[in-house]
Amino acid sequence: MKNEIEQLFNVIVAARHCVALTGAGVSTLSGIRDFRGKNGLYKDMDAEKIFDIDYFDRDPSFYYKAAGSFIYNIHEREASLVHTTLGALESKGFLKAVITQNIDLLHQKGGSRRVIEIHGSPALHYCRRCGESAETVMAFDEVAALVKAGGVPRCAQCGSVLKPGITFFGESLPVKALTDAEAEARQADLMLVLGTSLTVYPAASIPQITLRAGGNIVIVNDMETPLDRYASLHFTDLGEVFAGLAELLQAA
């Protein structure tokens, strides 16, 4: 394994434009459960109902009650070795961007600056009736404190329950984020596909853009993905791989 990790490091360093696509698996090392993994939230929680926009419209308080334990405590979580190593790779110029399906803000906490959140972000909550303004938007920390106390965030102008900037089922992905992600994928001669099963579209199609443009992909995931056979390198243990990369990066 050591030789393969050294090979991966050399490939990253030699790449002209390396980007990463990350899924929920990269945050399991921070104690956040993924959705579809071996111990995923789908096994004991109706995640599709929690993130369903029609259900949110009918009963927005349900989302805040159900999501409180795994969305609004993420400020208590620490960035994992994966997050911090990706941040260090970017700071040294080896990684151009992180495209993430995650909504946990841990890439930013780990030092990444160019983070493209294709499923939205809970960083801001806004009023769908009044639009976004200083009076109708609430930041994550303030919302988290409210939810932890059993409340829900409301618009200061109309009193409506605020919605997080997360993309719910039934909503379109953020246009700018998706456009930026596709542009990075087209430029990439190397894409690191990390902790994602590549089963949720359109995010799952992003590595295919890199492949069609002549780039290579490396997959690190503990479950099979539809693109495994196209990967130039393939690993299953994120922790082991990134411990090795962190060591090599420190010595570089």
Q: Do 57 and 103 reside in the same domain of the chain?
A: no
pLDDT at 45 over 60: no
Q: What is the CATH number of the domain that holds 223?
A: 3.40.50.1220
Q: Which residue(s) pair with 14 in the sheet? A: none
Instruction: Classify each residue of 44-56 as buried b or exposed e, where b means 16 or more C-beta atoms within 10 Å of its C-beta.
Output: ebebeebbbeebb
pLDDT at 76: 79
Q: What is the CATH number of the domain that holds 138?
A: 3.30.1600.10
The residue from 17, 75, 83, 119 that is catalytic is 119
Q: Do 15 and 42 reside in the same domain of the chain?
A: no
Number of structural domains in the chain: 2
Nearest-angstrom CA–CA distance, 76 and 122: 15
Range of the domain at 16: 1-32+79-119+172-252
pLDDT digits (tens, 9 = 90+) for 15-38: 999 999 999 899 988 887 655 555
Task: Give the mean pLDDT of 219-246.
Answer: 96
Structure-model confidence comparison of residues 120 and 44, the more confident one: 120
Q: Which runs of consecutive H residues, i.e. helices, occur in the chain? A: 2-14, 47-50, 53-58, 60-67, 81-91, 106-109, 140-148, 175-187, 206-212, 238-251
Please work out, in degrees rounded to the nearest 5, the angle formed at the alpha carbon of residue 143 by the alpha carbons of 88 and 201.
60
Q: Do 228 and 248 reside in the same domain of the chain?
A: yes
Q: Is 75 a catalytic residue?
A: no
What are the structure tokens assigned to 152, written together?
């829900």
pLDDT at 69 over 90: no
Q: Do 157 and 243 reside in the same domain of the chain?
A: no
